[in-house]
Amino acid sequence: MRTFDYSPFYRATVGFDRVFDLLDSVASQSGSNGYPPYNIEKSGDNAYKIVMAVAGFAEAELNVTQKENELLVTGQTAQNGQDEKQYLYRGIAGRNFERRFQLADHVKVVGAKLANGLLTIELQREIPEEKKPRAIPVEAAKPALTH
């Protein structure tokens, strides 16, 4: 079982602790078989990437869907057991998969690219205008008149 130390991210961000806890819990679920392997990278103040190793899959065989705070990545091979090749050794996994990620509030998928067998899913935290910090002016109180 692999565990990730997210403590450096906790020091550098506020409000993302939940996303790391959720990603860690999803990765350690008993139903998770570890395929396909993936990395989670921080690429900016409010930007993240999930990079999955999906060797052998074409763009049409991959599906990335976001519904509310859940990201679902699936891969369906076109062969479906109709492979006529006879393997002496098969080390490249080409099986179907489904991988789920729980996302923090206001985290949106902004893009997905497949290059060199790696699926890169770009995530961006977009805080709504009403949730952003705003400066409150501090005014000096007028002195009370004494009679």
Per the listing, tokens 């977009």 go with 126
What pLDDT does residue 134 have?
Answer: 81
**Out of 29-33, 67-71, 90-94, 114-118, least confident range:** 29-33
Q: Quote the CA–CA distance of 16 and 10 in Å, as a whole number.
A: 7
CB neighbour list of residue 120: distance below 8 Å, 6 or more residues apart: 49, 50, 51, 112, 113, 114
Per the listing, tokens 């060797």 go with 55
Split at pLDDT 50, 70, 90, the class of 26 is low
Is the pLDDT at 139 greater than 50, yes or no?
A: yes
Segment 43-67, tens digit of pLDDT? 888 899 999 999 889 999 999 999 9
Segment 86-99, tens digit of pLDDT? 888 878 777 889 99
What pLDDT does residue 118 have?
Answer: 95
What pLDDT does residue 11 have?
Answer: 54
Could you tell me which CATH number the domain at 7-127 has? 2.60.40.790
Q: pTM for the whole thing?
A: 0.65
Split at pLDDT 50, 70, 90, the class of 68 is confident
What pLDDT does residue 141 have?
Answer: 86
Q: What's the one-letter identity of residue 43?
A: S
The closest alpha carbon to 126, from 45, 67, 66, belongs to 45
Inter-residue contact 100 to 25 (CB < 8 Å): no
Average pLDDT over the chain, rounded to an integer: 80
**Out of 15-24, 49-58, 126-135, least confident range:** 15-24
Per the listing, tokens 């789920």 go with 100
Tallying the residues shown for the chain, one arrives at: 147
Cα torsion 49, 55, 58, 60: sign: negative
E strands in the chain: 38-44, 47-53, 62-67, 70-75, 97-102, 107-115, 118-125
Residue range 60-78: average pLDDT?
91
